[in-house]
Chain A
Amino acid sequence: MTMAQKKWLFYALIIAFTLFAPFIFPAFRTQLATLWLMIIVAVTWDMTGGQMGYNSLGNIFFYGTGMYVAAVVTIGLVYDVGEYTGAAGGGKYAFTDAQYFTGLVLGTIAAGVFCALSALVLGYVLFGLRGPYFAIGTLGVAIAAGELVSNWDWVGGGQGIALPVFPGDFDSAKLFIYYLFAGTGVVLFIFVKWLYATRFGAAINAIRDDEEKAEAMGLHTLMYKLMTWAMSAFFVGVAGAISAFQLIHFEPLETAYQTINLGIFMVVCVLLGGKGTLWGPVIGAILFHIFKEVTWNYFLGWQWVALGALIVITVVYFQDGLMGWLQHRKPEWFGMRVEKRDRLAQEASE
């Protein structure tokens, strides 16, 4: 079998697994959906953090905003949002099947578009900040958004907001959400795989390696940075919208703008797998999700401490991630050729 055939077989196996996983492991449907969510946020984080060198700590802003936009659009198409949240599930607000699916489709698209636009606006202000200031600035945006939304009564304030329930039984709802997440994830992966191979991908890598030089070469760096962040925000917003329909009820601080949970997890996933690689974020998300579920089951109460420790250990001792480590060990797997002389010198030094 040739290399290309092997590759296609590999991808076909993954697609097959994606399609049938909820039937092979029916008890883990929600887990698998969450795994896809982790993959989506990790891959999108890597677009700016790994490929472009702008480490955002505030991508969770788009997740939370996506949730709220989807909720407001879905409810707003049928009822008055202020009255709906004021009644807080009084029971008189029913949705027909058609209203649910119209809301789902339009809400998800609106969430993605709105997040992409807000990334353009925020990016215009924040992309002047370099290095750690960018990270702190974006973290500030996410925290501020959570606090402001929790004081905004029109969308339910600190109580949060409730969406209509999926018309159908419980199991098919889980399956439906899983395929939404998985579909978004697959589309995203194909999109970034294509994007990184284009001129655009080369340009954002140039920004990561040396922004001044890239600018001197004639790249309009701000435009590239804004476009990349907007694309990544679009997918995070869509993922947030799907999460909103999965959770049905959510509130601003702990669920939507969960800065210290998902907001930092996505960064750890990428670091664990390997920054700036195509597969790194995916593998990192899988490893992290497994670690998280294991600690959740066996260290009840201390799981958060274990996660904090994992973050510290990953950052301090294992920052190149799994892919970085492999690349160092087996460069030929990545199509790199190392001269025998260099290899010997490297082995001698270790």
Chain B
Amino acid sequence: MDQIISNIGLLLEFPIVNLKIIIDGVMIGALFALAAYGLALVWGVMNVKNLAQGDFVIAGGYISWWLAHQGLHPLLGVPVSFVIMWGIGWVCYKLVISRVIERDLFTSLLATFGLAIMMAQIMNLLFGSDTQSLKLDYETLYFADGLIDVPIAKLIGVIMAAALAAAVIIFMKSSRMGQAIRATAQDARAARVLGIDTEKVYAFTFSLNSAICGAAGAIIVMVWVIQPFYGITYSIRAFVIVTAAGLGNLPGVIAAGLGIGAAEQYGSHIFGIGYQQAIAVVLLLVVLVYRLAQQRRVRQVLK
């Protein structure tokens, strides 16, 4: 308890530390937002809540990590992970997801949970249970007398995440496939009537989601650490963000992603690093209960 109070005191005494925490949080939050965007896409288009989301992220990270050990530059690992995870996502779709779309929501939740367990265990067998990361030998920028440090590697990671997000958004807005995806999300039956092959759209959307996650994972392995069983926390974070922002609300997803990144950094600064996972989960409960309270208010008005 004393530790917590002294940590809060530190924040008030040195306001500049707040800035450092926020910068760190926003950098990590950008990657959370990417995974959450993929989740919102799949959720909105085919009404599947993918609990394997985080494991796709970690899988992308391991692909990049493994390739880097074979001599590939870590930055090139990002597009390569994107492509490989596209393929893995397509296989997952064909084997599992395509069979649960029409079923109730708990079925898809459980099926993807099973998928998540399988993926985590396969990665554990292939790569071992140690935490892994890739070190990029770039400099670190210092501001405010060295109180704020920004490694260039992290900066590159954030820029890549932003570029990927921008590319996906432009693709969704202007390409033919992007239009088909949005049409299917609005009304799958009407889209079928109008000649859109929704089966193809579903397969494409799920593969795209998996690829986005893979790229996010390849960035995370450069700026943070990965471990086979970290996936579930990423899934939970993605759920927090999407639940807080709502479906089809892109600015909301980005804002919530950056916000949860900052909130986690604050939490782990105040309570200690051991609580980082717990904070992500507690945030989920807070958001769910808040949403519930909101609904209650609506119901009261309807009486």
Contact = CB atoms under 8 A, between A and B. Distances in A.
Given A136-B288, A140-B284, A312-B96, A264 B107 contact: no
A136 B241 CA distance: 13
Residues of B contacting A: mostly:
helix
B78 to A, nearest CB: 27
A175 interface: no
A133 interface: yes
- Give the interface size bracket for B toward A: 35 or more
Interface in A30-55: 55
A228 B289 CA distance: 21
Interface string A288-311: 000000000000011011011111
B116 to A, nearest CB: 8
Contacts of A105: none
B288 A135 contact: no
A55 B117 contact: no
A133 B43 CA distance: 13
Nearest to B282: A144
B277 interface: yes
Contact of A131 (B105, B116, B239, B288): B105
B113 interface: yes
Interface in B256-303: 272, 274-275, 277-278, 281-282, 284-285, 288-289, 292, 295-296
A315 B48 CA distance: 14
A312 B107 CA distance: 10
Interface string A92-132: 00000000000000000000000000000000010011011
Contact of B49 (A129, A132, A140): A132
B265 to A, nearest CB: 17
B99 A128 contact: no
Given A55-B106, A144-B285, A316-B99, A308 B111 contact: no
B288 A133 contact: yes
Contacts, number: 107
A320 B284 CA distance: 31
Contacts of A135: 106, 109
A308 B121 contact: yes
Nearest to B122: A305
A143 B233 CA distance: 9
B273 to A, nearest CB: 10
Interface of B: 49, 96, 99-100, 103-107, 109-111, 113-122, 124-125, 232, 236, 239, 243, 272, 274-275, 277-278, 281-282, 284-285, 288-289, 292, 295-296
14 contacts: A57-B109, A128-B295, A132-B49, A133-B243, A137-B288, A140-B281, A143-B281, A302-B125, A304-B118, A305-B121, A308-B118, A312-B118, A316-B111, A317-B99
Given A147-B281, A316-B111, 15 more contacts: A132-B49, A136-B49, A136-B288, A143-B232, A147-B275, A304-B118, A308-B115, A308-B118, A310-B114, A311-B111, A312-B111, A315-B110, A316-B96, A316-B107, A317-B99
The 4 closest A-B pairs by CB, nearest first: A308-B118, A311-B114, A147-B278, A304-B121
